[in-house]
Amino acid sequence: MELQPWNCSRKKILQTKQEQAQNMGIEIERKFLLKNDDWKAHVTETHVIRQGYLQSGLEKSQKSSVRIRISNKLANINVKSVDLAAVRQEFEYEIPLHDAQEMLETLCDGVVIEKTRYYVPYGRHLWEIDIFEGDNAGMVMAEIELSRLDEPFEKPDWLGPEVSHDERYYNIYLLKHPYKQWQL
């Protein structure tokens, strides 16, 4: 499915997510830093995201993270294998917004990751650009979800180096090591 700026809507984003869900609970995602802000001219949708973890997956006995996320007015619970790699198991289910708000406030140890996600179609793919806030302010990252690890994709001029295999760029790492504490 080709996504174009003039037809990329919430419906198209949901269709893309539904197609990805058909991969039997597998997420294939690559992460990149950005060279510049040229992507901003092509944003088709924006979501304000707040997310916290019921289980981080950081303990040796844990094989998964369990995340609560509110994105605009939609909420979900997400279970993801803790492998910090491009291919991971992932299961995501919508939950009532009120329940998600309550869980973020009372069950996530007060650590909530805040970011604004911008959707940017390029070629045949939809890029998600995250600008982090709070303790992670200053971090900007692009993600692309693929249907297979070796799937070819066009790299926009604004794309920087790949960081898919760098644990620092995973949300669960940011729980214990927020961006503001990094030595850059």
Residue 17 three-state SS:
helix
Q: Are 34 and 160 within 8 A, CB to CB?
A: yes
Torsions phi, psi for 49 (to 5 deg): -120, 135
Range list of H helices, the chain = 10-21, 97-106, 171-176
Instruction: Classify residue 16 as left (phi > 0), alpha (psi -120 to 50) or beta.
Output: alpha
The Cα-based distances of 28 to 21, 95, 137 in angstroms read: 11, 23, 26
Whether 151 and 36 have beta carbons less than 8 Å apart is answered as: no
**Residues tagged active-site:** 53
Q: How many residues does the chain have?
A: 184
**Block residue for tokens 């303790």:** 135
